[in-house]
Structure 1
Amino acid sequence: MAIPDASPAGPRRCVYTVLTGGYERLTEQPVAARSTLPFLCLTDDPTLRSDSWRIRPVAPCLPMDPVRSQRAMKLLPHRHLPEFDQSLYIDNSVLLTAPPETLFAQLAAGQGLALPAHSYRDSLLDEFLEVSRLGYDDQGRIFEQLNHYQLACPDALAQSPPWTAILLRDHRDARMRRAMELWLAHVLRYSRRDQLSAEIAFAQAGLVPQRLALDNHLSCFHAWPRSAARQMRPPALSLVPPAAQLRQLEQALATGEAARAAVAGELAGQLAATARLRAELAASAQAGKAALETQAREVERLTAALAEAEEALDLARADAREAACQAALRLQAAEAAAAQARRDRSEILQSTSWRLLAPLQAWLARHPRLRAGLRRVRRPGKHPAAVSLDQ
Structure 2
Amino acid sequence: MLEKLSPRLDTANLRMAVYTCIVGHYDSLIEPRIAEPGIDYYVFTDIDIPAGSVWKKIDITQFDEYHEFSPTQLNRRIKMLPFCYLPDYDYSVYVDGNIEIEGAVTPVVAEMGDCPFGTHYHRTRDCIYVEKVRVNYLRKADKETVDKQTAAYREAGFPRHYGLYENSILIRSHRDESVRHLMEAWWEEYMRYPTRDQLTLPYLIWKTGYDRSRIHIIGKNIDRNPNFKRTHSHKTAKPS
Whether the TM-score (by the shorter chain) exceeds 0.5 is yes
Partner of 1:37: 39
Whole-angstrom CA distance in 1 between matches of 2:89 and 2:237: 30
Does the 8 Å CA contact 2:27/2:98 hold for their aligned counterparts?
no
Distance 1:40 1:148, change over 3 A: same
Question: Once the two structures are superposed, what CA deviation does each residue of 1:57-115 show, in whole Å capped at 9, x if it has no partner?
Answer: 12262535110111000000111100101101111111111111121111122x22011
- Greater relative contact order (Cα < 8 A, sep 6+): 2
Q: How does 1:296-315 map to 2 (within 5 A)?
A: none
Whole-angstrom CA distance in 2 between matches of 1:147 and 1:27: 38
Distance 1:125 1:8, change over 3 A: closer
Partner of 1:286: none
Structure 1 unmatched ranges of 5 or more:
1-6, 239-391
Distance 1:154 1:200, change over 3 A: closer
Deviation at 1:212, TM superposition (A): 2.2
Q: How does 1:169-184 map to 2 (within 5 A)?
A: 169-184=172-187
Partner of 2:150: 146
Partner of 2:223: 217
Partner of 2:59: 57
Partner of 1:88: 93
Structure 2 unmatched ranges of 5 or more:
1-9
Does the 8 Å CA contact 2:174/2:180 hold for their aligned counterparts?
yes
Partner of 2:79: 74
Number of matched residues? Answer: 224
Question: Once the two structures are superposed, what CA deviation does each residue of 1:122-167 show, in whole Å capped at 9, x if it has no partner?
Answer: 3221111111111111111111101001101331x32230111111
Q: How does 1:316-327 map to 2 (within 5 A)?
A: none
Instruction: Give the TM-score normalised by structure 2.
Output: 0.86
State which structure, 1 or 2, has the greater radius of gyration over its C-alpha atoms: 1
Partner of 2:171: 168
- Specify which of 106, 121, 133 is matched with residue 117 of structure 1: 121
- Specify which of 96, 106, 113 is matched with residue 108 of structure 1: 113
Does the 8 Å CA contact 2:11/2:106 hold for their aligned counterparts?
no
Whole-angstrom CA distance in 2 between matches of 1:216 and 1:112: 19
SS of equivalent residue, structure 1 residue 30: coil
Bigger strand fraction: 2
Does the 8 Å CA contact 2:19/2:44 hold for their aligned counterparts?
yes
Partner of 2:133: 129
Deviation at 1:119, TM superposition (A): 0.9
Identity percentage of aligned residues? 24
Distance 1:100 1:144, change over 3 A: same
Deviation at 1:10, TM superposition (A): 1.7
SS of equivalent residue, structure 2 residue 84: helix
What letter is aligned with 2:144? G
Deviation at 1:35, TM superposition (A): 4.2
SS of equivalent residue, structure 1 residue 203: helix
Q: How does 1:239-278 map to 2 (within 5 A)?
A: none
Partner of 1:294: none
Bigger helix fraction: 1
Q: Does 1:20 align with 2:23?
A: yes
What letter is aligned with 2:101? L
Does the 8 Å CA contact 2:20/2:43 hold for their aligned counterparts?
yes
Does the 8 Å CA contact 2:33/2:103 hold for their aligned counterparts?
no
Whole-angstrom CA distance in 1 between matches of 2:64 and 2:49: 15
Does the 8 Å CA contact 2:96/2:168 hold for their aligned counterparts?
yes
What letter is aligned with 1:123? C
Whole-angstrom CA distance in 2 between matches of 1:217 and 1:95: 11
CA RMSD of aligned residues (A): 2.0
What letter is aligned with 1:169? R
Does the 8 Å CA contact 2:18/2:92 hold for their aligned counterparts?
yes
SS of equivalent residue, structure 1 residue 31: coil
Instruction: Give the TM-score normalised by structure 1.
Output: 0.54
